Amino acid sequence: MPFPQHVPEAVPSNDTVERLNELIAHHRASLEVCDAAAPRLDDIVERGEVREMVTDHLRHLDQLARCVETLGGHPTRIKADLPLDRSDVVDLVVDERLLTAILVDEEAMAQVYGNVVDGLHASDRVERTVDRGLELIDKHRHWLRDELQASA
């Protein structure tokens, strides 16, 4: 009886690493906006929720970076261009405007996730990590919409 031949694991395409790095870059940018907005919020509950978003983005950024490293790539250190950035947020003083600014960026993140998910060909672990990221973004978007609707 012949020995079974060793079949090497599929080498991930550069496209998979690039797609994950695109998500990392967007998380970096969104993290920066949330971090700038949180201390400017007057409402303590809203401030706590936005700080939790910062933690969510940091945690997921780390998970994505580990996936990139597992695939033999290097996590990007750049941040993406989102509709609004830190400089747009530092001049805002009304809670609704700050939350709206965060929502605009979270909406852009959801669109990026949708584009990445559509063409992603990766291991189950990587796909689960990306799916969890989209779930986080959806959670953020729903909370932001609810808060903005409640304050209207």
Does the pLDDT of residue 87 top 50, yes or no?
Answer: yes
pLDDT at 10 (0 to 100)? 46
CATH number for the domain including 113? 1.20.1260.10
8-61 per-position pLDDT tens digit: 334 456 889 999 999 999 999 898 889 989 998 999 999 999 999 999 999 999
- Report the distance separating Cα 24 and Cα 62, nearest Å: 9
Does 46 fall in a domain? yes
Does 9 fall in a domain? no
Domain membership of residue 125 as a residue range:
14-75+87-151
Which residues have a Cβ under 8 Å from the Cβ of 66 and sit 6 or more positions away? none
pLDDT at 11 (0 to 100)? 47
Does 49 fall in a domain? yes
Amino acid (one-letter) located at 138: D
Cut 0.75: pTM above it: yes
- Contacts of 130-138 with CB under 8 Å at 24 or more apart are 130/20, 130/23, 130/64, 132/60, 132/63, 133/23, 133/27, 133/60, 133/63, 133/64, 134/110, 136/56, 136/57, 136/60, 137/106, 137/109, 137/110, 137/113, 138/110
Choose between 88 and 129: higher pLDDT. 129
Structural domains in the chain (count): 1
